[in-house]
A and B are shown apart, each in its own frame.
Chain A
Amino acid sequence: MATLAPYIPPHVKPEQVFSFDIYADPRVGDDVQGTYSAALADAPDIFWSPLNGGHWMVKRHDLIAEIVKKPEVFSAREMQIPRVENPPFMIPLSLDPPDNVPYRHVLMPKFSPRAVADMEPKMRAMAADIIDEVLAKGECDFVADISARFPVSVFMEVMGLPLDKLREFRAIADTYFNARTNEEIQRISQQIFGIFNELIAYRRETPGDDLITHFLTVDVEGRKLSQDEILAMSFVLFLGGMDTVTNVTAFTFQHLAGDPALQARLAADPSRLSDFAEEGLRMFGVIGTPRLVVQDHDAHGVSFRKGEMVLSALWQSGRDSEKMDNPDGFDIDRKEKPHLNFSTGPHMCLGHALARAEMRILADEWLKRVPSFRAKPGVKHGFRIGTVIALESLPLEWPIAEGVA
């Protein structure tokens, strides 16, 4: 990819400029969210980074909430930084309200708290199967073997995707999140659409109780969804189901691996697993949500101008010292765990209940089998940053029970 020259528009004040490379800033290290937050400590609450084509970035919890709740100014119709020529169109994500509402309506029954509660026994069984595959070995790469497989497996079950294609889908999703050029994004999007076209054709012939069948049969304001609409909805759900829970869970377990006291406490008292999952979400946000300025807007001393991109760094929302004490400390007992990692407002993540349940269930099933574990010493885990933050590996080891193996 050609490096773009640093860009500062004339209306940006010098004190609002803070140079930060969202894709490769060298100040971000192995404690990804912690070092990220430290790197931005001296940046203004809303700042202009001249890198990656030039864009605004928002680092405070309450300002992020303000931006994502003002779709008439900050539109979700484009979410690439730098901007690309033919940005992917995602339903309902790329649609500003009220256009997104009927589509959310269609999706709700399959992602509601009640639907998630109904799915819990099935999710537990899936988590158990995945963990049992590595249990006797006394070691695994938690990312590749567990956290990448479980949420994706659950999601594929919801969608009616064949599980034997898991690794292939996962690889495509990885390429997508690493893609930066228009050409790459288009090419990978086409691959993903190809997979979904096959699946839609299959479900037309063989209906099930999956989401694709629901898309094909549901009534939306008196009509059926078109093939393009189904593709666009599947696309955003596909990507959303792949990388998000995987990454938050991986970072949260990376923390847990280094905290034997917390392992023992949670193994003894699984009723605290919801608090554990929520604290993991607060500490280890992985999603940034870009918006396109669609009308000039002045707020907080900043002149947002039409055509500019704004990145709300959701992972910063849980590390905001104005919202909580000791934001960099992992504490399941803190009463409030403020964060916006599911965003807020009209585009708030539809999968929030599912994601939380997945984290809680996976931790529960894991600790039942592996009550004590640690990260293999001396191994680099690797990470990537961008509009999604990921942990690349997490090699764990644990004592094998006698008589097993």
Chain B
Amino acid sequence: MVHIRFIQADGTAQEIEAEPGESLMVNAKAKGVDGIVAECGGSMVCGTCHVYVAEPWFGRLPAPSDMEVDILDYGLHRSPQSRLSCQIGVTEAMDGMVVEVPVSQR
């Protein structure tokens, strides 16, 4: 099992056991993590599964596609650690990863 810690904008934390092979978004939705809306269901068109991935995990992720970068750039609350959680495939190596949820998705 891969343990991933989600931290909300108000500081509350929730640790989930994530399923490798599924996206971070699908895992977060399945475990009812607040603030992950994912309105398009992972089609990379809505940008409402935005998260901030903490280092060192952020630097280890495969680079985002141009489309993902565009969606993040046009979205709200952009930070250098921003990613779309639907585009992050969970792997065993992510055990212990810390992910922050933005104050809003819209």
Contact = CB atoms under 8 A, between A and B. Distances in A.
Interface string B34-54: 000001110101110000000
Interface stretch (B9-17, B18-26, B69-77, B87-95): B69-77
B46 A352 contact: yes
Contacts of A114: 74-76
Nearest to A104: B45
Nearest to A92: B45
A342 B40 CA distance: 9
Contacts of A356: 106
Interface string A338-359: 0000101110101011001000
Contact of B39 (A69, A104, A112, A344): A344
A342 B39 contact: yes
A346 B45 contact: yes
B43 A113 contact: no
B75 A65 contact: no
A106 B33 CA distance: 32
A97 B39 CA distance: 17
Contacts of B70: 105, 108
A352 B39 contact: yes
Given A101-B67, A105-B70, A108-B70, A348 B45 contact: yes
B72 to A, nearest CB: 10
B45 to A, nearest CB: 5
Query: For chain B, which range describes its interface: under 10, 10 to 19, 20 to 34, or 35 or more residues?
Result: 10 to 19
A113 B72 CA distance: 10
Contact of A344 (B41, B67, B74): B41
A166 interface: no
Given A114-B74, A114-B75, A353-B106, A105 B39 contact: no
Query: For chain A, which range describes its interface: under 10, 10 to 19, 20 to 34, or 35 or more residues?
Result: 20 to 34
A348 B46 contact: yes
Contact of A345 (B41, B71, B106): B41
A350 B71 CA distance: 12
Contact of A346 (B43, B47, B75, B76): B43
Nearest to A353: B106
Nearest to A110: B74
A350 B67 CA distance: 15
Interface string A97-109: 1000100110011
A38 interface: no
Interface string A57-84: 0000000010001000000000000000
Given A101-B67, A108-B71, A356-B106, A113 B39 contact: no
A233 B46 CA distance: 19
A346 B67 contact: no
Interface string B79-106: 0000000000000000000000000001
Q: Which of A69, A101, A108, A109 has its CB near the most chain B CB atoms (within 10 A)?
A: A108
A229 B85 CA distance: 32
9 contacts: A97-B43, A105-B67, A112-B47, A112-B74, A113-B76, A114-B75, A117-B76, A344-B41, A353-B106
